[in-house]
């Protein structure tokens, strides 16, 4: 056992499990994915909850399950409808991987989510955390589910000073959970750790006096709970300058489908180009880029506003122009001319939803 886990042997495991699970039994939030232990619903919720707050996820989860109530429904759905149901949640590769994995479950496992670590870990987009969450919550398998909340809680309980920003550190925490997890109720144990991290053992100003496992917490007793976990700062976001054009054509507008790979793949947007030249937002330069990259001949009008959108690794600064077509376009699977009624059927990323709301839909 590593030096980081030297305090593990000092923890009264039975008492720790009891205090944690009893608290969760009494205090757990009423969340829709907790109403049953359906592995498909647990899976969907865990994918949605990656990088996204619980309050944001709840309405998305309810709508998604209403639209795709079973594994077969999601496996058989058109990708565009699935992306539309996910619209606004971001990190779209999550739902593409989910649908891809669900198709494999339908074909290879007869629609039943695998209940072993070996099988479930082979599914696309199912990493160690998601696998552990599904196995423990839905199937009662004592498997760690280590996310940021759990690493924060355990780093304080055991006074672990390893940098949680390093991928290699996860192994330390998985080892700790294997030692601590309840074999009688791994579902509640893992969910309780997540809940504790979300509600009590928060990143700043943890509510130690309300904590059900305060007596077991080395960081609390050492007075260092605000110094843990150790986490190095992420690199600065890269800034990207973009120009988007809202083209009005007989009460219709032109929309363009993004590439099938990369950021926001297969989502729709107002025609957009990245500007890197010193000319930046010079209209003739942007018009030339729109012709070269998207194949549309546009006369740009006035700049009507700016949109900023922050991703985890980069920041978009979008200059929005009005524009009109100088020549008819040939519609295809990646370029459409749509009415205000039709445009709502297409999945758009958040920055282009903002453009639509502010500069396309007239009040």
Q: Which of 22, 27, 46, 162 is catalytic?
A: 46
Q: In Å, what is the CA distance from 159 to each residue of 5, 7, 58, 144, 214?
A: 8, 7, 33, 19, 13
Contact 319, 281 (CB under 8 A): yes
Distance from C-alpha of 279 to C-alpha of 363, rounded to nearest angstrom: 33
Phi-psi bin for 12: left (phi > 0), alpha (psi -120 to 50), beta? Answer: beta
The number of angstroms, rounded, from the C-alpha of 117 to the middle of its chain's C-alpha atoms is 22
Q: Which residue has the tokens 């199912």?
A: 126
Distance from C-alpha of 317 to C-alpha of 354, rounded to nearest angstrom: 13
Q: Half-sphere exposure (CA, 13 Å, Cβ side) for 208? A: 17
Instruction: Please say if 46 is a catalytic residue.
Output: yes
Contact 264, 353 (CB under 8 A): no
Distance from C-alpha of 82 to C-alpha of 63, rounded to nearest angstrom: 11
- CA nearest to 93, candidates 334, 282, 309, 260: 260
Distance from C-alpha of 148 to C-alpha of 164, rounded to nearest angstrom: 8
The residues assigned a catalytic role are 46
């Amino acid at each position: 056992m590593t030096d980081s886990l030297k305090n593990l042997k000092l923890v009264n495991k039975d008492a720790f499990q009891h205090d944690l699970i009893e608290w969760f039994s009494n205090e757990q939030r009423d969340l829709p994915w907790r109403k049953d232990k359906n592995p498909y619903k647990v899976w969907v919720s865990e994918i949605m909850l990656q990088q996204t707050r619980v309050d944001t996820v709840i309405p998305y989860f309810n709508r998604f399950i209403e639209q795709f109530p079973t594994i077969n429904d999601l496996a058989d759905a058109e990708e565009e409808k699935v992306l539309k149901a996910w619209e606004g949640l971001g990190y779209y590769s999550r739902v593409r991987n989910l649908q891809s994995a669900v198709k494999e479950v339908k074909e290879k496992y007869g629609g039943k989510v695998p209940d072993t670590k070996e099988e479930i870990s082979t599914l696309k987009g199912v990493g160690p955390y998601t696998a552990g969450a599904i196995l423990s919550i839905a199937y009662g398998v004592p498997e760690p589910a280590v996310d940021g909340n759990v690493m924060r809680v355990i780093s304080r309980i055991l006074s672990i000073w390893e940098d949680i920003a390093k991928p290699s550190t996860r192994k330390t925490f998985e080892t700790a959970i294997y030692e601590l997890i309840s074999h009688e109720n791994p579902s509640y144990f893992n969910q309780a750790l997540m809940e504790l991290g979300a509600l009590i053992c928060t990143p700043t100003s943890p509510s130690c006096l309300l904590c059900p496992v305060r007596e077991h917490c080395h960081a609390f007793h050492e007075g260092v709970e605000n110094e843990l976990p150790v986490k190095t700062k992420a690199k600065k976001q890269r800034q990207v300058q973009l120009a988007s054009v809202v083209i009005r054509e007989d009460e219709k507008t032109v929309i363009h489908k993004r590439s099938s790979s990369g950021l926001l793949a297969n989502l729709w947007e107002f025609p957009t180009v990245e500007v890197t030249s010193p000319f930046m937002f010079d209209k003739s330069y942007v018009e030339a880029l729109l012709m070269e990259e998207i194949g549309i001949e546009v006369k740009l009008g006035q700049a009507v506003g700016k949109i900023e959108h922050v991703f985890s690794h980069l920041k978009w600064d979008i200059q929005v122009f009005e524009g009109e077509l100088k020549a008819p376009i040939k519609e295809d699977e990646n370029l459409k001319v749509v009415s205000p009624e039709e445009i709502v059927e297409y999945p758009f990323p958040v920055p282009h939803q903002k453009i639509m709301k502010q500069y396309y839909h007239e009040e």
